[in-house]
Amino acid sequence: MRRAAASLASALILFFARFITAVRGRWAGVEPSDEQRIYFANHASHGDFVLIWTVLPRRLRFTTRPVAGSDYWLKGALRRFIGRDVFNAVLIDRDRESRTSDPIAQMTEALDAGSSLIVFPEGTRNTTEARLLPFKSGLFHLAQARPNVALVPAWIDNLNRVMPKGEFVPIPLICTVTFGAPLRLSEGETKQDFLARAEAALLALSPKANAT
């Protein structure tokens, strides 16, 4: 029954996301593939990973797991059901003092089991005017731990306007998810250089970058 309920909820969320946002996936420099990947994206809404998941081909959705904060997705029965049962999220405790599991170990365990991942290197939602917050070091450590897994940048546009912070009724607007060319950690590349390169690859997909 729980699996059937999760399958129904998945279909409803997929329909709702497409109905509200008419979300379109743009594959620029990369194509959808069964190859294992780490999708890294900008983060402005709790619905970000839903849009990425929505535009992936159906066969890829079943093998792609979002990485999300347990403090949000374990709060209440409904969120817990959506996070665990519907999306099979890798739930990370973002509090260094209370966590009992290493986040990188959790993510590499999911990769070793054959899953692809959706991660948000900013670490938290960006509610500022800046296009991106500085990346945390987790993306570097993940690339270092599994250097053969391709990292694919994914820019999510407009979702923060669909559901502004503090609002409960979504505003129908067209959203896009643009996927860029894969990158990998280069031999001898420093953390600072790698994160700067990853940030630049993601920013290059934003509408403002393409308008100049």
CA gap 104, 131 in Å, rounded = 26
CA gap 126, 46 in Å, rounded = 11
**Quick one: pLDDT at residue 159?**
58
Please indicate, yes or no, whether the overall pTM of this predicted structure exceeds 0.75. Answer: yes
- SS3 for 93? coil
Looking up tokens 């365990």 gives 109
Torsion angle in degrees (nearest 10) through CA of 79, 84, 87, 88: 160
Q: What is the pLDDT of residues 39-62, one digit of tens each?
A: 999 998 878 888 999 999 999 998
Model confidence at 16, pLDDT cuts 50, 70, 90, reads: confident
Q: Is the pLDDT at 140 greater than 70, yes or no?
A: yes
**Quick one: pLDDT at residue 29?**
83
Phi, psi values for residue 114, rounded to 5°: 105, 0
User: Which H or E run contains 199?
Assistant: helix 191-203
CB 131 within 8 A of CB 16: no
CA gap 46, 209 in Å, rounded = 24
Q: What is the pLDDT of residues 84-96, one digit of tens each?
A: 999 999 999 988 8
Q: What is the rounded end-to-end Cα distance, in angstroms, of the chain? A: 52
| Count of the separate structural domains present in the chain | 1
Q: Which domain holds residue 42?
A: 2-211
Phi, psi values for residue 177, rounded to 5°: -125, 115
CATH of the domain at 128: 3.40.1130.10
Among 22-31, 54-63, 110-119, 154-163, the range scoring the smallest mean pLDDT is: 154-163
CA gap 97, 164 in Å, rounded = 31
Mean pLDDT of the chain: 88
> In angstroms, what is the C-alpha Rg of the chain?
16
**Quick one: pLDDT at residue 209?**
67
Instruction: Give the residue, 47 or 184, on which the prediction is more confident.
Output: 184
